[in-house]
Structure 1
Amino acid sequence: MNNPLDQAPTHVKLAVDLIMLLEQHDVAPEEVLKALDIVKSDFEKKLEKP
């Protein structure tokens, strides 16, 4: 049987992988959201660089 995730865009696969990783390590949702804010800010800065 085909897994629908196999056909998903890369960003969806990455999101699923990250969710699984964080859940496996039992990270509190509040901590995840704080960390994601930092990650998002870091990657937004990378987009601004030429």
Structure 2
Amino acid sequence: MSKTPTSLDNAPAEIKLAVDLIYLLEDNAIDPQIVLSALDIVRHDFEKKLQSQPSKS
């Protein structure tokens, strides 16, 4: 049985990751306010990581 491609198969990596995260959070019935608070922390952490990387010129 062959796998039928879906529109997600051709989606950008950030879309695939977002879909995976949404599924994980909804499947575990995480309170939306907790999710948003946690995402603020994650965003802040990754923004700091981006700032500390050498610039690509």
* TM superposition score category, shorter chain reference: over 0.9
Q: How many residue pairs are counted as aligned between the two chains?
A: 50
Structure 1 unaligned residues grouped into runs of 5+: none
Report the TM-score, using the length of structure 1 for normalisation.
0.95
The CA distance in 1 between the partners of 2:31 and 2:16, in whole Å, is 22
Provide TM-score, normalisation by structure 2: 0.84
Higher relative contact order (CA closer than 8 Å, sequence separation 6+): 1
Determine the structure 2 residue equivalent to 1:9: 12
RMSD of the TM alignment (CA)?
A: 0.7
Partner residue in 2 for 1:42: 45
> Any stretches of 5+ residues in structure 2 without a counterpart?
none
Structure 1 residue aligned with 2:22: 19
Larger Rg: 2
Higher helix proportion (structure 1 or 2): 1
